[in-house]
Amino acid sequence: MSALTEEQREFARAGNFATLTTLLPDGRPAAQVMWVDSDDECILINTEIHRQKFKSIEGDPRVAVCIWQRDDPYQYMELRGRVVEIVRGEPARQHIDELAMRYFGRPYDETIITSERVILRIRPE
């Protein structure tokens, strides 16, 4: 088990985009472009429970995350790890608003939320 470096935390919090790669039930990888964040120890990805990425993680928590610099995609970092915690409820709902402010400068459009929001805490390995 490994913790994030300061450089990794800053990269994840800088409004850069990430690709989250999960494993489908049949073992094939699936990648999605996502907003990304971090706490002191983990990469944070916010999603909804009806999405395939969430269902895949319930079956196999191993993931890869590639984060690239918004204005220079040749500056990137890749982390491999696993989802060690799923944060539900109001903290996840507030987090998506924080991310929307970072990426768009406004709160998240709640009319497009169709199921419970969750935060995936991903610890690098």
Determine the pLDDT at residue 2: 67
SS3 of the chain: helix, strand, coil, percent, to 5: 25, 45, 30
Task: Indicate whether 1 pLDDT > 60.
Answer: no
Residue 113 pLDDT exceeds 80: no
Mean pLDDT of 106-125: 88
HSE-CB at 37 with a 13 A cutoff on CA atoms is 18
Question: Is the pLDDT score of 112 beyond 80?
Answer: no
Q: Which CATH number fits domain 6-124: 3.40.50.620, 1.10.8.50, 2.30.110.10, 1.20.5.510?
A: 2.30.110.10
Query: Which residues are bridge partners to 82 per DSSP?
Result: 62, 123
Domain boundaries, the chain: 6-124
The b/e string for 15-40 (b: 16+ C-beta within 10 A; e otherwise) is ebebbbbbbeeeeeeeeeebbbbbee
**44 with 81: CB under 8 angstroms?**
no
* pLDDT tens digits, one per residue of 41-96: 999 999 999 999 999 999 999 999 999 999 999 999 999 999 999 999 999 999 99
